[in-house]
Amino acid sequence: MPQSTVLDEVVLSAQKLKLKPKSIGRSSKGLGLMHSNFYSYYEKDVDDRLSKERGMKFKIRRACYLQDLNFNITSNDFKSLKFRVNIYKVENGLPTDLIINQNIIFEIRDTYLGWFKVDLQPYDIYIKDGIEEIAVTIQWLESVKTRANSKYFALSTASSLTHTAYFRDKAMDSWKDGGQNLSFYLNAICE
């Protein structure tokens, strides 16, 4: 025969993490006088196979969930552009291994200019405590030109002694770095 038993009250308490929204990087476009082009005046044509990359080094001082990536487009000669977001570890001042293995692919359409946002929330990207620097880049995948000679796509930038931009002209090429501060930032929720 079932019996009822009265148990002592148990109180469970969970320590709440204090998560704070944080913007990491350069969220201003400045005067718009300097631009970082994917293709230069001297290059004859756009070659999608090269998979050029541009991005920035970010200092991450606490564990963070990445919410979105934002960058300011100042020049765009394309009906459609597809890019991939890559996030790398930084060792000895240069990007090394990918931190994420997900394909974060996005499209920019109709010669869009201005601030562009890539939503990262669906990918649940968590940068754990102890990783102090990461490189976030956008990698050129595919393009549809507006004209036969279209080749300009640029982000606003500024010279900087304290910030580092990364670029490479083709996939698997060596990274180059420069004292630039692209208008390129992350919104994150950090501990």
Q: Convert the pLDDT of each residue in 129-183 to its tens digit.
A: 888 899 999 999 999 999 999 999 999 999 999 999 999 999 889 999 999 999 9
More confident residue, 191 or 68: 68
Tokens of 120: 């990262």
Confidence of residue 105 (pLDDT cuts 50, 70, 90): very high
Quick one: what percent of the chain has pLDDT higher than 90? 75
- pLDDT over 70 percentage in the chain: 90
CATH of domain 49-190: 2.60.120
Closest by CA to 59, choosing from 6, 166, 107, 131, is 131
pTM: 0.87
What are the sequence ranges of the domains in the chain? 49-190
> Contact, 78 vs 152, CB < 8 A?
no
Is it the case that residue 15 has pLDDT exceeding 50?
Answer: no
> What is the three-class DSSP state of 49?
helix
The candidate with the shortest Cα–Cα distance to 152, out of 30, 55, 41, is 41
H/E segment holding residue 143: strand 133-145
Q: Given the structure tokens 């930032």, which residue do they identify?
A: 185
The residue behind tokens 């002694």 is 161
